[in-house]
Every structure is written in C-alpha cells, then in structure tokens.
Amino acid sequence: MEIRKIGIVGAGQMGNGIAHVMSLAGYDVMLNDISDDALSNAMDLMKSNMERQVSRGKITADQLSDALSRINCTTTLSELGRTDLIIEAATERETVKQAIFEDLVPHLQPHTILTSNTSSISITRLASRTDRPEKFMGFHFMNPVPVMQLVELIRGIATDEPTFSACKEVVEKLDKTAASAEDFPAFIVNRILMPMINEAVYTLYEGVGSVQSIDSSLKLGANHPMGPLELADFIGLDTCLAIMNVLHDGLADTKYRPCPLLTKYVEAGWLGRKTDRGFYDYRGETPVPTR
C-alpha cells in the first residue's frame, strides 16, 4: 500500500516535529489537536524551524513553502480518518492514548494504519483496543524530530508484515534510520537511557555529586553531548518518571524503581525546560542548578 496522507494526533513538541519532517518529505499532513492555539503555535514553530534550515542551506525557500502548504490543521479528530497512516503523538498516558484510538476507529478507512509515538507503553495492549491490531504498531521518533536520525519501529504481537514494511518505507523516505524493537517496556532507547538518567538523579539524591558535577562528569568523562540531568530537563521530568514507572511496573525489577527525588520534582511541577524549572532554573539568561 502506498502511503500519501498522514494524520498526526497532537501538535506538541513531538507532533509538530513529525509534521515538519513528513511535509518536507512530500506527504500531505493532517495535524490534529484539541486547541486552535496549539495548532497555531505548532505552525509558527515549524515555520521558524524550517527558516533556520533554509539559513543553514539544508533546504530551499521553495521547499519550505511547499512543505507548509501540505499541512492542514483540524481540531476534529474524525477528519484524520481520511488518511492512510495515523501517528498518535499525544501525552504519555495510556488512558489518553486508548481514548484517542477508540474515538478514531469508527472513522477509519479499511486500509488505514494506526501507530503510536509512545516511548514506553505496550503496543500490543494499545492495539487490542482497536479494530485492527494487525495494522497497528509503534512509530517512535526521537526528540527533536527534525534533527535526530533514529526511528524505533515496534511490532505488537499481531502486527502483520505489510504494516511493518509500509512504515519502514516511510522512515526511509524521511531519510532516517529504522531500528526494529520488540514490544517490551520502553523498547530499546529508553530501556537503556532512562535508567541512566534515574541513576544520575539517585547520585544527586544521595549527595554523591551536585547537578553541575554530575553533568560535567558525563559530558567530559563519557563524551556525552548533554549531561543526564540536563537531558532529563530537555525531555521533561514528567515523561522520565512516566517511563520509569512503565519499566518498574512492566518488568517488576527493583532496579527500575524511580528515584524519590525525581518524583518530588514532578510533584512540585518542576518538569524541566517546558516549565522553566527542573534540575536547572531557566528563568534567567543562563541555566542555574537548582540543587
């Protein structure tokens, strides 16, 4: 099946990044969110990010205008039923995702593929709440989408080969690299990354090092481009905690127990860059460690 029209649920950080790369690759995009303001902000951000690509010679001005003209916005979820492939990129809460798929199902074409950009939730379980588990899979982009090269493709227990092949073809058309992952909690990237971040928070919690010393140690000692606490702020501490809870609940191993300090930051609403405070305070000219 040839995929031409792509529906994206959620116009936040991930959704607008996915719309950005899909439209540049020549796909017609239908972007959905519950808020007109969110859609307007997403379009402004995409335009700004594409203009930066033009200034760096990565795309042309014509490519920018063509890409933006391929994106249509809607607050009506059912309108996505006319697309060939739907990528759900809503918040990382299973109940929210299930409700979205249940609302979509009555409006889908028989051939429409359903996917989720979830970073940790069971694809098999999400698929079981739809009428097409064989046409359902995980389509996990990395953040920021226009920059990061990898896409994890996750098959549920019922996902058929034509669905996987169609999604892999989309990844190739985006000029990105697909990694095939099995449907176990947090898949590949976050199964490895999140426990490292959680251990960095434990290192802070236990007083082994400060925010600054922990991040400097990993950047200079392990050649990481960002320190683990800086990266946690970039991802969102609520997302980090949600993934650790999925790992802990799904694998029943105490090594995945979320650090109490991570829970405390989330309870305080200090979620990282998106709230201007996390392990760093971003309200001034330069980030200042909060601990």
Residue-wise pLDDT for 221-263, tens only, equals 999 999 999 999 999 999 999 999 999 999 999 999 999 999 9
**Whose CA is closest to 106, among 132, 128, 81, 135?**
81
Instruction: Give the model confidence (pLDDT) of 201-227 as tens digits.
Output: 999 999 999 999 999 999 999 999 999
What's the pLDDT band for 141 if we cut at 50, 70, 90?
A: very high
Is there a contact between 121 and 187 (Cβ–Cβ < 8 Å)? no
Mean per-residue pLDDT for 25-53?
A: 97
Query: Is 20 designated active site?
Result: no
Is 274 flagged in the annotation as binding?
A: yes
Mean per-residue pLDDT for 141-161?
A: 96
Is 1 a residue whose pLDDT tops 90?
Answer: no
Point out the catalytic residue in the list 119, 120, 122, 198: 119
Query: Is 119 designated active site?
Result: yes
Instruction: Give the model confidence (pLDDT) of 61-73 as tens digits.
Output: 999 999 999 999 9
Strands of 48-185 (E only): list them.
Answer: 71-74, 85-88, 113-116, 136-141, 150-155, 177-181
Is 97 flagged in the annotation as binding?
A: yes
Is 15 flagged in the annotation as binding?
A: yes
Element (H, E) at 235: helix 228-235
Neighbouring C-beta atoms of residue 28, cutoff 10 Å: 16
Mean per-residue pLDDT for 165-174?
A: 98
Mean per-residue pLDDT for 55-64?
A: 97
Mean per-residue pLDDT for 266-273?
A: 98
What's the pLDDT band for 92 if we cut at 50, 70, 90?
A: confident
Is there a contact between 116 and 139 (Cβ–Cβ < 8 Å)? yes
Neighbouring C-beta atoms of residue 117, cutoff 10 Å: 25
What's the pLDDT band for 270 if we cut at 50, 70, 90?
A: very high
What's the pLDDT band for 89 if we cut at 50, 70, 90?
A: very high
Strands of 117-242 (E only): list them.
Answer: 136-141, 150-155, 177-181
Query: Is 182 designated active site?
Result: no
Point out the catalytic residue in the list 16, 116, 152, 230: 152
Q: Give the chain's domains with CATH numbers.
A: 5-182 (3.40.50.720), 190-289 (1.10.1040.10)
Provide the 3-class DSSP secondary structure of residue 121: coil
Point out the catalytic residue in the list 117, 190, 198, 230: 190
Is there a contact between 238 and 244 (Cβ–Cβ < 8 Å)? no
Query: Is 152 designated active site?
Result: yes
Q: How far apart are CA 252 and CA 264, in angstroms?
A: 22
The sign of the CA dihedral 143, 146, 150, 152 is: positive
Mean per-residue pLDDT over the chain, rounded: 97
